Amino acid sequence: MPLPNFFIAGAGKSGTTKLWAILRQHPDVYFPKEKEPIFFATYPSEPRSAMLGLTSFWGRPLVGGNYKLGLDWYLQLFEDWNQQARIGEASGFYFFDPSSAELLSRHVPDAKLIFILRDPVDRVYSQYWQEKKWGLSEKNCPSFSEMVQTGHPRLDFCCEVSHYKMHIERFMHFFPRHQMLFLTSDDLKHKTNATIETVCQFLELDPNKIPTTQVAYHSSHKVSPFPAIERLKYTFLHSTTLFQRLTPTTKERLLSLKKTLFRITGLAPKEQTYTPLDANLRAQLIPQFLEDIAYVEALTGQDLSSWKRL
């Protein structure tokens, strides 16, 4: 069974799910049922996870790379492939995992890589809200204002992902420029059709075969009223080898059952739209990303002055 020949490789919280949802409609594209298998990754280590509070109830990383599960585990995710010309995989984790570029080049050296880049401060704030829904303690995930004022380790982690220059340069070391496509989340959101045409041209696909580019896409997150239960759920789904080794079909059935049980019992997370980022906090964060913004401007030829706004 062949390995993927293209990847949506990040950055997380920049529109990768939207692009995945659009492209998977194309009859010449195959994606596995599971988004974010995070196979070509080994990060984070257990000490790093403990420092960030990203650990399960028994101390293992709450999220992380699955390279340790072996290539056979990864290949079974693609068991439903039906000769589509393009085989894709989407894991935003690859963008910042220090080992991903090398692992991808070792296993799929000819693969095409798509990166979506977002206003780095907005991306940090969105990641913060995603992590809030994981049920982490106030100590490990306090208010965003407190994290900025105290230099909390979790803020450092969120900001690390938005330091685009070092991550892109790492991929440039292992892949030629013509195998990489860089997009902005602004274009994907506001110039969706033109952006999808660019992606299809890059992947040598007919954009007219995509039924619609209007897919569900919103800026709210579901937050559980019972954080401990939510953390237990993430522990089972992301920190147990047993669950990861299940077949895709079995996983799908268990996840469907979980959603039904959570809905019936009232444990399901509730929709919550996060409040806009305070301008003063934004102003404190922007300076550390100016070099990254300038780098992306030079790389894409776009004017990204809106990313420097207060």
Q: For the chain, what is the mean pLDDT?
A: 85
Dihedral-angle region of residue 186 (phi above 0 means left; psi in -120 to 50 means alpha; beta otherwise): alpha
Q: Sorting pLDDT into bands at 50, 70 and 90, what band is 295?
A: very high
Q: What is the value of pTM for the model shown?
A: 0.87
Which residues make beta-bridge pairs with 272? 221
Q: Which of 208, 198, 192, 179 is closest to 27 using CA atoms?
A: 208
Residue 277 dihedral angles phi and psi, to the nearest 5°:
-70, 130
Q: Which of 216-220, 241-245, 306-310 is least confident? A: 216-220
Provide the 8-state DSSP code for 204: T
Domain segments of the chain: what residues?
Answer: 6-217+278-304
Q: At 6, phi and psi to the nearest 5?
A: -155, 155
CATH of 6-217+278-304, one of 3.40.50.300, 3.40.50.11540, 3.40.1160.10, 3.40.190.10: 3.40.50.300
pLDDT tens, residue by residue, 151-192: 988 898 899 999 999 999 999 999 999 999 999 999 999 999
Mean pLDDT of 15-22: 96
CA proximity to 238, closest of 83, 54, 19: 54
Q: What is the pLDDT of residue 272?
A: 66
Is the pLDDT score of 56 beyond 90?
no
**Is there a contact between 112 and 29 (Cβ–Cβ < 8 Å)?**
no
pLDDT of amino acid 308: 95
Mean pLDDT within 31-52: 72
Cα separation of 238 and 136, whole Å? 15
Q: Identify which of 23-32, 44-53, 144-153 has the greatest average pLDDT.
A: 23-32
